[in-house]
Amino acid sequence: MARLLAPFALALVGAAMPVTAQAHMGSKKTITVVTHDAGATLDVTVDAVDAALALGLPASASHARLLGRETLVRGWLAGGITVSSDGGRCRGTAAAPEITAQDGRDALRVRIEVACPEPATGLRLRDETVFAEDPDHETFVAMAGGTGDVLRGERREIALATAPSAWRTATAFVREGAVHLVTGYDHLLFLLSLVLSAGVLARREGLRRAARDVAWVVTAFTLGHSISLVLAALGVVSLPSQLVESAIAASIIAVAALNVARPQARVAKPWIAGAFGIVHGFGFSSVLADVGLPASHRAVALASFNVGIELAQLVFVTLVMLPLVWAAHHRRYQTVVVRGGSLAIAACGCVWLVERGLGL
């Protein structure tokens, strides 16, 4: 029986262990755009490590060494982040870089003044920086009126629209919510920890009872993170990013530890899921802080982002439940899957907690 469960347990370990330092794969930069009659002004903030690697320097390059490459930095960003208009390609001039911080990490900030040929309409922004070094890189673009977008993968160009429709806003934020959950391995491992014991309950009391208990737990998690997501997105509550990310790691350890200590227990209590859901909601809000909520469709954007998270969450839990129920029929399920999988998940949580707590 143990041999039959080994591939399943290995899959759990494989899902957990590759994710060490980063809970969300890839680095990020932010570009704040202000358009005007003659073109646009771009304020670019890029991680210092990304800048160093792109310039052929070691990741640990000092501030002085980075700033000493001023000409290279300016040319790299002005040449890789471009704007075009109906009148043709625009010309960007980058100012001297400054040292700043982004999500608690050292970063470079550079202002690029963009001059466009007439007519300076139909502006489009394209970013080709960092993606070669990090294919999972994301560029968060914030525009006038609170609108925003994200460049990732092969999608590296957007129109600098100032007033997107409610439908376009809704579809964009549903996508961002789903992508954030799917690429948020800390959130996924927490969800997995919540439902890992569902197989035991399905074997003991039937699939319907197990599905009902999982539904209550997931609903409580949803309510928890929805409340904190709204409060954080609207600026009612603001918590330090390092504190939030560390608390998320601690929540993963706590639920995984419960599974190890009590592998025969029912799925996690709804109040536990709801309480930790509040913590995770502050983590979800970080994406909205980067993209920005459009002033004209703030409620639509916020609701759509939450819907995207829930849709991805529902798909993930459904896909996880199927193999859990199958594996639970083997007598070593509690030892190999519940305890073994939880130990692997807790190990990831411990790594994240140390790194986030120390700001590594």
Place of tokens 């640990």: 60
Last residue of a domain, one of 85, 106, 135: 135
* Residue 166 included in any domain: no
Do 46 and 130 have their domain in common?
Answer: yes
Beta bridge partners of 34: 41
pLDDT tens readout for residues 305-346: 999 999 999 999 999 988 888 888 887 888 888 888 899 999
In a domain, 158, yes or no: no
Q: What is the mean pLDDT of residues 238-263?
A: 89
User: Which residues, other chains included, contact 82 with Cβ-Cβ below 8 Å and sequence gap of 6+?
Assistant: 89, 90, 92, 125, 126, 128
Please list, in sequence order, all residues whose beta carbon lies within 8 angstroms of the beta carbon of residue 246, skipping any fewer than 6 positions away: 353, 356, 357
85, 107, 135 - which closes a domain? 135
pLDDT digits (tens, 9 = 90+) for 121-175: 889 999 999 999 898 899 998 886 666 788 988 899 998 865 667 887 888 889 8
SS3 string, 29-59, reads EEEEEEEECCEEEEEEEEEHHHHHHHCCCCC
Mean pLDDT, all residues of the chain: 85
Give the mean model confidence (pLDDT) for residues 46-50. Answer: 93
pLDDT of res. 225: 94
User: With pLDDT > 90 as the criterion, what percentage of the chain qualifies?
Assistant: 43
Is the Cβ–Cβ distance between 19 and 187 less than 8 Å? Answer: no
The number of angstroms, rounded, from the C-alpha of 253 to the middle of its chain's C-alpha atoms is 19
pLDDT for res 360: 66
Strand, helix or coil at 139? strand
Please report which residue ranges of the chain form alpha helices under DSSP H.
2-16, 48-54, 63-67, 70-80, 166-182, 185-195, 198-205, 207-233, 241-261, 270-291, 298-327, 340-358
Rounded to whole angstroms, the Cα distance separating 240 from 75 reads 34
CA 101, CA 205: separation in Å to the nearest integer? 52
Residue 41 lies in a domain: yes
Q: Give CA–CA dist 7/5, Å, rounded.
A: 6
**237 and 285 inside one domain:** yes
Query: DSSP 3-state assignment of 183?
Result: coil
| Residues 54-100 pLDDT 10s | 999 998 889 999 999 999 999 999 999 999 998 889 999 999 999 99
- pLDDT for position 21: 42
Tell me: do 20 and 45 sit in the same domain.
no
Same domain, 20 and 38: no
218 pLDDT above the threshold of 60 = yes
The verdict on 300 and 204 lying in the same domain is yes
* Span 162-209, pLDDT tens digits: 566 788 788 888 988 998 898 888 999 999 998 888 877 777 878 888
**340 and 215 in a common domain:** yes
Claim to verify: residue 20 and residue 77 sit in the same structural domain = no
Considering only residues 358 and 219, tell me which one the structure prediction assigns the higher pLDDT.
219
Q: Domain range holding 56?
A: 28-135
- 209 and 222 both lie in a single domain: yes
Residue 167 lies in a domain: no
Band (pLDDT 50/70/90 cuts) for residue 297 is confident
- Residue 165 domain-assigned (yes or no): no
Token representation of residue 312: 């991805």
**Domain membership flag for residue 320:** yes
Looking at the fold, whether 68 and 32 belong to one and the same domain comes out as yes
φ, ψ of residue 315 to 5 degrees: the values are -65, -45
Closest CA to 304 of 165, 194, 195, 155: 165
> Is residue 123 in some structural domain?
yes
Q: Domain count of the chain?
A: 2
**CA–CA–CA angle 53, 80, 45 (5° rounding):** 65
- Report the pLDDT averaged over residues 282-302: 82
pTM of the model: 0.73
Specify whether the backbone of 24 is left (phi greater than 0), alpha (psi in -120 to 50) or beta. beta
Query: Is residue 252, in this structure, part of any structural domain at all?
Result: yes
Q: Residue 30 contacts by C-beta under 8 Å, 6 or more apart in sequence?
A: 44, 45, 102, 139, 140, 141, 142, 290
Q: How far is CA 124 from its chain centroid? A: 25
Radius of gyration of the chain (CA): 23
Indicate the residue among 111, 135, 159 that finishes a domain: 135
pLDDT surpasses 50 at 19: no
> For 210-220, what is the mean pLDDT?
88
Terminal CA-CA length for the chain: 42
Please tell me whether residues 112 and 217 are part of one structural domain. no
Nearest to 291, CA basis, from 83, 30, 100? 30
Q: Are residues 206 and 297 in the same domain?
A: yes
What per-residue string of b and e applies to 87-113 under the rule 16 or more CB within 10 Å gives b? eeebebebeebeeeebeeebbbbbbbb
- State what percent of residues in the chain have pLDDT above 70: 88
Same domain, 7 and 51: no
DSSP helix/strand/coil, 280: helix
Q: Which pLDDT score is estimated for 4?
A: 47
Per-residue pLDDT, 322: 85
Identify the pLDDT of residue 146: 62
